[in-house]
Homo-oligomer: A and B are copies of this chain.
């Protein structure tokens, strides 16, 4: 039993990470196993020591976003890991709709980079996608005051708003329109939640942008 278990796990993680970034950038169909392995510093043949088929890395690549130990730079610039409640919810909205996120195709959330790809994927990827979505729903859900519509109902709508705004921004050929889409989504979220009146100054982002 050469190559320690940790070594194999490390390698496997590198493969998943490189798969995630390449899928984000080029889509599942346009990425080859050689691309993935090359970006992980390996050669194509070794892939099958870790996975049986290309599809088998798809779900893990999607989940890597929420399982990774370190958040992406665009997240770190807007989200204080110590934040809680509405302050955290606000930071998540800011991060998602930020210019940083817009520009980071490789490191973006799979809900932004891959929704229509995943919709055509197998049960497994779509399960992974759902788990990413439910994580975001969970972050929003508990930060609404009681009202007629349930908290979950409103949280789902917010996720649709934030994801929809960014997905459309990425798909149009007009930078100004893309900015407008992100801005209008952000304003709409704040109009319905009031989260923009939450103080986040003492939990300041590392760098302001977007």
**A interface with B by C-beta (< 8 Å):** 25-27, 29-30, 111-120, 123, 126-127, 129-130, 133, 149, 152-154, 156-157, 159-165, 167-168, 170-174, 177, 180-181, 183-185, 187-188, 191-192
Contacts and interface: CB of A to CB of B under 8 A. Distances in A.
A165 B157 contact: yes
Contact of A120 (B26, B119, B126, B188): B26
Contact of A116 (B117, B174, B183, B184): B117
A130 B161 contact: no
Given A27-B120, A113-B116, A163 B156 contact: no
A161 B157 contact: yes
A26 B120 CA distance: 7
Given A111-B168, A161-B161, 10 more contacts: A30-B120, A117-B117, A126-B172, A127-B173, A129-B173, A153-B183, A159-B168, A160-B184, A164-B164, A188-B192
A115 B160 contact: no
Nearest to A121: B171
Contacts of A127: 173
Contacts of A115: 115-116, 167-168, 170-171
A18 to B, nearest CB: 18
Contacts of A192: 188, 191-192
A185 B167 CA distance: 16
A116 B168 CA distance: 9
Nearest to A127: B173
A184 B184 CA distance: 19
